[in-house]
């Protein structure tokens, strides 16, 4: 990967443990709507929802297929635009940013971990991790120590020179997490991050995301359909038919009872 001229590293404020005022951190959305047109049918994915997530902690969003949970994550991460409403993420009014502003917001303020890993197959693990910084104009040689430290911390330092096809699914997802953390975001979004992992690897990853949020003082917001995943989170917010159906403390709950509550059939 070609080196790009170095710039001064970006500095990020520490997250606060208390609920943030508007614009200070965490996530606040008000009256957010989003609809799509499929053929001749109009689908209302989100129907005027209000939500708040604090500046730190591991939190889950659940809901059946079509509930709006993936749409919500895409709006929060600046990957799509709402039809109406206000969206404040990590101190940014995402709904007011132009395309250039959204690009910088995604690169410098948040990290995203996808179900499909989204690693470039021609790059080694370390070069995949360094890619966001290189795209931001920072020099690869200056980024490498931090990237290697992240891989070591996540238990895949000895795999740094391997390409994705030589890594297991769990190893690829850890590389993806290291990439998401490279530029020290205050929020990490995880979109069904264990959907392609076996049960043992999935449980390790949920524990890792929990410890990442606590040890680094940041917010990890995970979209998931797995009740066991949500039991690792401080709270679970349930979406149904584009609306907030429930929100409750979920850490340590029995997965079966959590599934019933998320389905609206138990408390």
In CATH, which of 3.40.50.300, 3.30.70.890, 2.60.40.740, 3.30.565.10 is domain 54-83+97-262? Answer: 3.40.50.300
Domain boundaries, the chain: 54-83+97-262
* Token pair for 188: 């990490």
Count Cβ atoms below 10 Å from residue 104 Cβ, excluding itself.
14
List Cβ<8 Å contacts ≥24 apart for 231-234: 231/255, 231/258, 232/58, 232/206, 232/207, 233/58, 233/59, 233/60, 234/57, 234/58, 234/59
pLDDT band at 266 (very low <50, low <70, confident <90, very high): low
89 forms bridges with which residues in the sheet? 27, 92
* Token pair for 176: 């993806």
Pairing label, strands 219-223, 92-93: unpaired
Model confidence over 83-140: pLDDT tens digits? 999 999 999 999 999 999 999 999 889 999 988 899 999 999 999 999 999 999 999 9
Supply the pLDDT for residue 222: 96
Q: To which residue do tokens 């790059």 refer?
A: 123
pTM of the predicted protein model = 0.87
Model confidence over 33-92: pLDDT tens digits? 999 888 888 889 999 999 999 999 999 999 988 899 999 999 999 999 999 999 999 999
**Average model confidence (pLDDT) across the chain:** 88
Model confidence over 161-208: pLDDT tens digits? 999 999 999 999 999 999 999 999 999 999 999 888 999 999 999 999
């Amino acid at each position: 990967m070609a080196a790009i001229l170095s710039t001064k590293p970006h500095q990020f404020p520490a997250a606060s443990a208390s609920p943030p005022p508007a614009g200070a951190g965490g996530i606040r959305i008000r009256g957010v709507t989003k609809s799509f047109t499929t053929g001749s049918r109009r689908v209302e994915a989100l129907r005027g929802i209000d939500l708040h997530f604090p500046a730190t902690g591991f939190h889950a969003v659940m809901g059946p297929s079509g509930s709006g949970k993936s749409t919500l994550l895409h709006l929060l991460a600046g990957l799509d635009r709402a039809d109406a409403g206000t969206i404040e993420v990590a101190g940014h009014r995402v709904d007011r940013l132009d395309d250039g502003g959204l690009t910088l917001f995604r690169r410098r303020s948040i990290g995203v971990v996808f179900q499909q890993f989204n690693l470039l197959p021609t790059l080694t693990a370390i070069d995949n991790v360094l890619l966001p910084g290189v795209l931001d104009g920072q020099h690869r040689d200056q980024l490498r120590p931090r990237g290697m430290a992240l891989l070591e911390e996540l238990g895949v330092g000895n795999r740094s020179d391997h390409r994705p096809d030589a890594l297991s699914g769990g190893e690829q997802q850890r590389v993806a997490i290291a990439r998401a953390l490279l530029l020290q975001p205050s929020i990490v979004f995880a979109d069904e991050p264990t959907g392609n992992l076996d049960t043992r690897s999935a449980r390790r990853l949920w524990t890792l995301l929990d410890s990442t949020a606590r040890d680094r003082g940041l917010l990890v917001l995970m979209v998931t359909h797995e009740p066991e995943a949500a039991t690792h989170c401080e709270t679970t917010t349930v979406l149904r038919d584009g609306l907030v159906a429930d929100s409750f403390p979920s850490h340590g709950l029995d997965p079966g009872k959590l599934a019933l509550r998320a389905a609206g059939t138990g408390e």
